[in-house]
Structure 1
Amino acid sequence: MEKVLKSDAEWRVQLSPEEFRVLRQAGTERAYTGEYVDTKTVGVYSCRACGTELFRSDTKFDSHCGWPSFYEPSKSEAVTLIEDRSMGMARVEVRCATCDSHLGHVFHGEGYGTPTDDRYCINSVSLRLEPAG
């Protein structure tokens, strides 16, 4: 997929203030407030900014962390992983590989018993669910 490059002004026109804060400024929505935290709907989760497919519902699991959790992206090239040392800790930020929007963070080795032992902890506001059907 071709890279999506837009100015902050262009993103502000396209996104709501909350979407802009999370997707473009690496913000985080409050825990347990996102629309997809408890969603069981079968479908595809895409980037809310550019529409790139990111995750599928069959990799979503209940981590009880307050955000939607997935054990792997749809395609390995769909996301970019970046070291994040903000907030006084070492984490791995997850971004959309197409538009470079912030999605959340990925954590490894927490013992959830998923096939990858990864937890992609993703902000609902960064995603759009297209139900299967």
Structure 2
Amino acid sequence: MFCLEFGFQSCRNYVVQFVFEIEDPWATVDILDQLEGDYGDLSMQKYSSNVVEKCLKYAGEESQSCIIHELINNRRLDQIMQDPYGNYVIQAALNHSKGSLHAALVEAIRPHVPVLRTSPYGKKVLSSNGLKK
């Protein structure tokens, strides 16, 4: 019934988020492997952006690094940061990254600062606590 009310796509996303929250390492790794290569596109969709945020929260350090590198290297990073959903993913990446990975993410954001200042969602990225680390 839940899936019929909210649509199949949103239902699948809730199931994936639930799997992360029960902290099953095998299932988490399997999900992360299946999403690899799609994190940028998923970041700009209403329900799947929540899944990417959960991936960043529950993934191990190595998987977090892969996700963040995929975002950094995405040719549409500027669009992700200005997207109504994608900006939250970038904020999550800033909050969950550390050390050289965090520095690399900040450096990838830096060239886009002028445009981000003019975008309502870009401003959220710039005001993120993670950017001020």
Answer yes or no: same fold by TM over 0.5.
Answer: no
Larger Rg: 2
- The higher-RCO structure (CA 8 Å, 6+ apart) is 1
Identify the structure with the greater helix proportion.
2
